[in-house]
Structure 1
């Protein structure tokens, strides 16, 4: 089976949300994992906004890049510029996609304003995962 790897800086928000959606919408196409350049722990607001869409990522955990999985992945999706710039070299025939998404963990303002940023990023990730699912 093909492998997909979602990467971001801390594997706490964007890549965790992408993994959560992929486990629903891409499970028949890919083995699915996510990781970060660092492991910051899964952000509670990411868990909360995913639960709003009936996706449970509370069992997922933050991890750093596994060199073996990275080398054997068919598709690597980087979800931030930091991961794109600092990611190990992606060798052919691995395909890579860059999704330049803002880091919701950097959101400021009231708790509701922060949640709104998380929801916006979540919705963008969901649309991109659905687009991947619709490709043959």
Structure 2
């Protein structure tokens, strides 16, 4: 619903990748802004600003070189959307931190876990130099 995982990924990517990299996130359905996302981003000096959750139809640009999906439903929707397009689709399964109950600290720990998993995936995919085969 573009309320938790993908907004976190979008803000991390905006910080970590060159400014010339276009990054946008969207969901299969519209959702409500999640206050835990704001809190976990603020811990890293990031903010959603006035950004609200959006759907694929809300995106102004529909040309992408790569679509990264973070949940099964989003992955299936992206594959359907790109069936006739030359765009790469990658699935990075991420746990849903909203399924976590308990204290505020327990919930925040689940959101932090997702944030750090996303940071690591973005780094591995886009920033770390490729490891060359020893026979090269």
Q: Give me the TM-score of the superposition, normalised by structure 1.
A: 0.82
Tell me the equivalent position of 1:7: none
Matched, 1:16 2:7: yes
Which residue number in structure 2 is paired with residue 4 of structure 1? none
Find the counterpart in structure 2 of residue 133 from structure 1. 126
Q: 1:25·1:133 contact (CA, 8 Å) conserved in 2?
A: no
The structure 1 segments of at least 4 consecutive aligned residues displaced by more than 4 Å after TM superposition are none
Query: After the TM superposition, which residues 60-75 of structure 1 pair with which residues of structure 2 at under 5 Å, given as runs?
Result: 60-66=51-57, 69-70=61-62, 72-75=63-66
Aligned match for 2:93, one of 100, 105, 119 = 100
- Larger CA Rg, structure 1 vs 2: 2
Unpaired runs of 5+ in structure 1? 1-9
1:94, 1:73 → 2: CA distance? 7
Greater relative CO, 1 or 2 (CA 8 Å, sep 6+): 1
Aligned residue number for residue 26 of structure 1? 17
**1:41-73 CA-partner distances (Å, limit 9, x unpaired):** 221101101111111123321100037633x11
Query: For residue 133 of structure 2, what is the aligned residue in structure 1?
Result: none
Aligned residues: 126
What is the rounded CA distance, in whole Å, between the counterparts of 2:109 and 2:21 in structure 1?
30
1:40 Cα deviation from its structure 2 partner:
0.8
Calculate the TM-score normalised by the size of structure 2: 0.82
